[in-house]
Amino acid sequence: MERLDRILAGTGRWSRREIGRLVKAGRVSVDGMPAQAPDEKYDPDANFTVDGEPVSGRQLVYLMLHKPAGVISATEDPRKRTVLDLLPEHMRRAGLFPVGRLDRETEGLLLLTNDGPLAHQLLSPKQHVDKTYFVRADGPFDEEDEAAFASGLILRDGLKCLPARLERLEACDEALVTIQEGKYHQIKRMVASRHKQVVYLKRLTMGPLHLDPALEKGEWRPLTPEELAALGLS
């Protein structure tokens, strides 16, 4: 049993203060009866409605975030700003977590959800989910780099990477790199094995998801129906 305001706030649609106002106005019902107070306790599997619209007490949330540099891919940290700190307070109570991680100084696409099975599906090495990054290095990329990435790099610590794709861009020190793994600092280590250092890194895609160019750094939005369908969630 959980408080009504906590259950509904967990959907990410309202803050607990907003829910209190909705209850007071008689706009919230549980199992067909008007709710009397936001601190009443209910089973999250009960039938909730707001303004006559059914609301699941266990609603799953899917957000696309344009992660800026300087925040960490974690749900909480006593000293550093996390990606959840970029969300409104009531959204932080929805049980969201980042799917995978981007290094503190890496920017770009990050999926936030409370759907554990989806996260497992996207992160499982067996699924071979493509992730594409824009990379800028302190030296030029060449054909030998492309071939080395394609053959599967062996990092300086002996770790063998799966074959990856490096596509050189117009600027000789820039490339698109697509990998199917997510090892610690993987792209930085891959580039370092080719005697260069990454100076800027941004994730552009993860599976069928593409970073929305309309999202500024630090901004987020719910996934569209088309994006949910691409993830098999329609």
Quick one: DSSP state of residue 154? B
- pLDDT bracket for residue 180 (50, 70, 90): very high
Instruction: Please report, rounded to a whole number, the percentage of residues in the chain having pLDDT higher than 70.
Output: 98
How high is the pLDDT of residue 83?
A: 97
- pLDDT bracket for residue 7 (50, 70, 90): confident
Question: Quick count: other Cβ atoms within 10 Å of Cβ 195?
Answer: 9
Q: What is the C-alpha end-to-end distance of the chain, expressed in Å?
A: 29
- Predicted confidence (pLDDT) at residue 118 exceeds the cutoff of 80: yes
| Mean pLDDT (whole number) for 165-173 | 98
Residues of the chain with CATH 3.10.290.10: 2-55
How high is the pLDDT of residue 13?
A: 75
Instruction: Classify residue 47 as exposed, middle or buried by CB count within 10 Å of its CB (0-12, 13-18, 19+).
Output: middle
- Predicted confidence (pLDDT) at residue 109 exceeds the cutoff of 90: yes
- As a whole number of angstroms, the distance between CA 7 and CA 11 comes to 7
Residues with Cβ within 8 Å of residue 91, at least 6 apart in sequence: 12, 61, 63
Please list the active-site residues. Answer: 103
- Predicted confidence (pLDDT) at residue 25 exceeds the cutoff of 70: yes
| Mean pLDDT (whole number) for 213-221 | 97
- Predicted confidence (pLDDT) at residue 160 exceeds the cutoff of 80: yes
**Helices (runs of H) and strands (runs of E) counted in the chain:** 6, 15
CATH architecture, range 130-206? 2-Layer Sandwich (3.30)
Kindly report the pTM of this predicted structure. Answer: 0.79
201 close to 106: Cβ distance less than 8 angstroms: yes
Q: What token pair was written down for 67? A: 């992660």
Residues of the chain with CATH 3.30.70.580: 62-124+209-230
- Predicted confidence (pLDDT) at residue 58 exceeds the cutoff of 70: no
Please give the CATH topology (third level) of the domain spanning 62-124+209-230: Alpha-Beta Plaits (3.30.70)
What sign does the CA torsion over 192, 194, 195, 201 have? negative
- Predicted confidence (pLDDT) at residue 28 exceeds the cutoff of 90: yes
Which CATH superfamily is 2-55 part of?
A: RNA-binding S4 domain (3.10.290.10)
- Predicted confidence (pLDDT) at residue 93 exceeds the cutoff of 70: no
